[in-house]
Amino acid sequence: MDGNQGTYSDGEWVDRVRISSQDQKPLTQGRTANIEVTVSLPRIAQNNFLDLYSTTNVTQPSWTLITSLPVTGTGWEQILTASYTVPTGSGVQAIRAALRRGGVASPCTTGPYDDRDDLVFMAAAPYVSGAKATSVAAGFDYSLALRADGTLWGWGDNYYSQLGDAVGQFGSTLPVQGPLLPGVKSVHAINGTSLALRTDGTVWTWGSSDYGLQGNGGTTPSKTPAQVPGLTGVTALAMGIHHVLALKSDGTVWAWGENGDRQLGDGTGVSRTLPVQVAGLTQVTAVAAGRSHSLALKSDGTVWVWGTNVMGCLGDDSIDSSPVPRKLPGLSGVTSIAAGHAFSLAIRGTRELWGWGVGPLGDTTSYYRTPTRTYQWASGSISLFAGPSHAVALDRTQGKAWTWGDLSSHATCQSAEVNYGRVPAALGLTGVAGVSIGDRYAHAFLTDGTVWGWGGGPRQRGNDQVTSGECAPAKVLLP
């Protein structure tokens, strides 16, 4: 905010105010930051001072003096610098640069040579070293994690600023703190678009907006999270390749993104940059999104499908696509669903795995045109997760997980701890609490709060491990 003093000079006296972290990470409460102020000066040296102030209340500010810097030079411009510790307790803060001629320090001095400019900025919440991860998302060549202290972290590619503005376009092999966004419940990733579901039921997006994936009506990339307009009461999200599904607390489903294969389910083939309601669906309890098809699970245990059916992923023994949801025949009592590129999975009861389409279905066959039981666990209550060609089953009561199917770039990947074959086999991690599967990499976060990953995305490992051995689980080095 540009102050209105200093009218003696047409350009006033304080030209620019900049704040940055010393370690090139996001501005964080409780950490040291650098302040850089560019001032215009009279040609003859005078008794000038630059006073720097800070406040944590930008609506009714009470300014605290940081330091007073003597302005001793002459000429058109001079850059003055100082450092200070960003106060804690507020995400929105401000600094004031006040240039005065003589007198004593005050945030509100007036005079023909006096000038003051304010800079309002966001300060990330201080993170707790070792805080537990509560959500993880594997995108295309990048990953996100949410920690119990409310901070967001990311690693991998950052071409579309999907990690935020903490690092450059080439990203980071190690986790960096992401954008400030309070009250996040879960994080999600789709290609170069990042999404966060907040506890208040709103959805926030940043990064790429190809195919309208930010859901804000535009196609311009963004470094900072922005709320998806007109969408509230959301309880769950599902990502396809180029489309997003949102389940609301009233049991309806909303969608946006690419719709060339009718995967949005609104009865048209028109792609959407804003959320539209999926036609005719109520009482939905879960959603899943494949490459170009979508699934919904209703409270009565039935599954509803729509989108492309070229590979039989709608499970009705045809290749006829559907622009609106239709009931999947021959399967009831379902408790969990998942979708990959061209296949669909379901758990009937608590332990029966059913699959259809083309992909890792759970047995030695990779193609069924109708739902077929492919595997059964001896005990537990199973939830499903799927990526383009990889799947994970999780029994949260025991913290045990099973994997099957390859990852896109690792059809021949082999590991004693991760199964890449066609039939489910135990994952070599214990205490698994949640899973996310991307195009070339998969992640799990454990009950101890650590994040692990496996597959063929070298930039998604989140550590400095060499490329060999990436088929096995590797721990992400969250600080």
CATH number of the domain residue 23 falls in: 2.60.40.10
Taking Cα atoms as reference points, which of 407, 410, 470, 471 lies closest to residue 439? 407
pLDDT digit of tens for each residue in the chain (479 aa)? 555 554 444 445 888 999 988 766 678 888 899 999 998 876 666 788 899 999 999 989 999 999 999 988 666 788 999 999 999 888 789 999 998 888 888 888 666 567 889 999 888 777 777 889 999 999 999 999 999 989 999 999 999 999 987 677 788 889 988 887 889 999 999 989 999 999 999 999 999 999 999 999 988 899 899 999 999 999 999 999 999 999 999 999 999 999 999 999 999 999 999 999 999 999 999 999 999 999 999 999 999 999 999 999 999 999 999 999 999 999 999 999 999 999 999 999 999 999 999 999 999 999 999 999 999 999 999 999 999 999 999 999 999 999 999 886 545 677 889 999 999 999 999 999 999 999 889 999 999 999 999 987 778 889 876 555 568 899 999 98
Q: Are residues 87 and 161 in the same domain?
A: no
pLDDT of the residue at 260: 96
Residues 80 and 220 in one domain: no
Q: Which two tokens stand for residue 325?
A: 């949801």
Q: Are residues 172 and 309 in the same domain?
A: yes
Calculate the alpha carbon distances from 359 to 119, 312, 344, 405 in Å. Answer: 54, 11, 8, 8
Q: What is the DSSP string of 198-232?
A: ETTS-EEEEE--GGGTT-SS----EEEEEEPTT--
Number of domains into which the chain is organized: 2
Largest CA distance in the chain: 89
Q: Three-state SS string across 333-370, please?
A: CEEEEEECCCEEEEEECCCEEEEEEECCCCCCCCEEEE
Q: Give which of 91, 106, 118, 103 is closest to 14, Cα–Cα.
A: 118
Positive/negative CA dihedral, 400, 404, 410, 413 = positive
Q: Which run of H or E residues covers position 256? A: strand 253-257
Specify whether the CB–CB gap between 24 and 131 falls below 8 A: no
Which of 122, 154, 176 marks a domain boundary?
A: 122
* Residue 432, SS3 per DSSP: strand
Question: CA-to-CA distance for 287 and 275, rounded, in angstroms?
Answer: 15
CA distance 40 to 63: 24
Strand partners, 99: 50, 115
Residue 2 in domain: no
Long-range contacts of 3-8 (CB under 8 A, 24+ apart): 3/115, 3/116, 3/117, 3/118, 5/110, 5/111, 5/114, 5/115, 5/116, 6/99, 6/112, 6/113, 6/114, 6/115, 7/112, 8/112, 8/113
Q: What's the pLDDT score for residue 199?
A: 97
Distance in angstroms (rounded) separating the CA atoms of residues 259 and 273: 10
CA torsion sign for 150, 156, 159, 165 is: positive
Q: What is the pLDDT of residue 464?
A: 74
Q: Which of 95, 122, 149 is the last residue of a domain?
A: 122
Query: What is the domain extent for residue 40?
Result: 14-122
Two structure tokens written together for 412: 């021949």
Backbone angles phi, psi at 460, to 5 degrees: -100, 0
In a shared domain, residues 111 and 140? no
Is 6 part of a structural domain of the chain?
Answer: no
Q: Are residues 215 and 108 in the same domain?
A: no
In a domain, 127, yes or no: no
SS3 82: strand
Q: Which residues pair with 318 in a beta bridge?
A: none
User: Looking at residue 468, what is its pLDDT?
Assistant: 52
Residue 77 burial (10 A CB sphere; 0-12, 13-18, 19+): exposed
Same-domain check for residues 193 and 228 = yes
- Does 108 lie in the same domain as 159? no
Q: Where are the beta strands (DSSP E) in 22-114?
A: 32-40, 48-55, 64-71, 77-85, 92-101
Residue 182 lies in a domain: yes
* DSSP state string for 269-336: ---EEEEEEPTT--SEEEEEE-SSEEEEEETTS-EEEEE--TTSTT-SSS---EEEEEEPTT--SEEE
**Distance of alpha carbon 353 from alpha carbon 342, whole angstroms:** 17
Query: d(Cα 195, Cα 240) in Å, to the nearest integer?
Result: 13
Contact between residue 442 and residue 452 where contact means Cβ atoms under 8 Å apart: no
Same domain, 71 and 200: no
What is the reported pLDDT for 416?
85
Q: What are the phi and psi torsion angles at 350 (to 5°)?
A: -120, -15
Name, in order, each residue with C-beta under 8 angstroms of 104's C-beta and a sequence gap of 6 or more: none
In a domain, residue 109? The reply is yes
205 and 240 in a common domain: yes
Other beta carbons less than 10 A from residue 75's beta carbon: 10
Q: Do 421 and 313 belong together in one domain? A: yes
- Looking at the DSSP bridge assignments, the partners of residue 198 are 184
CATH of the domain at 387: 2.130.10.30
Q: Are residues 101 and 199 in the same domain?
A: no
Q: Are 309 and 293 in contact (CB under 8 A)?
A: yes
Cβ atoms of 30 and 126 closer than 8 Å: yes
Distance, in Å, from the CA atom of 263 to the CA atom of 438, rounded to the nearest integer, reads 19
48 and 24 together in one domain = yes
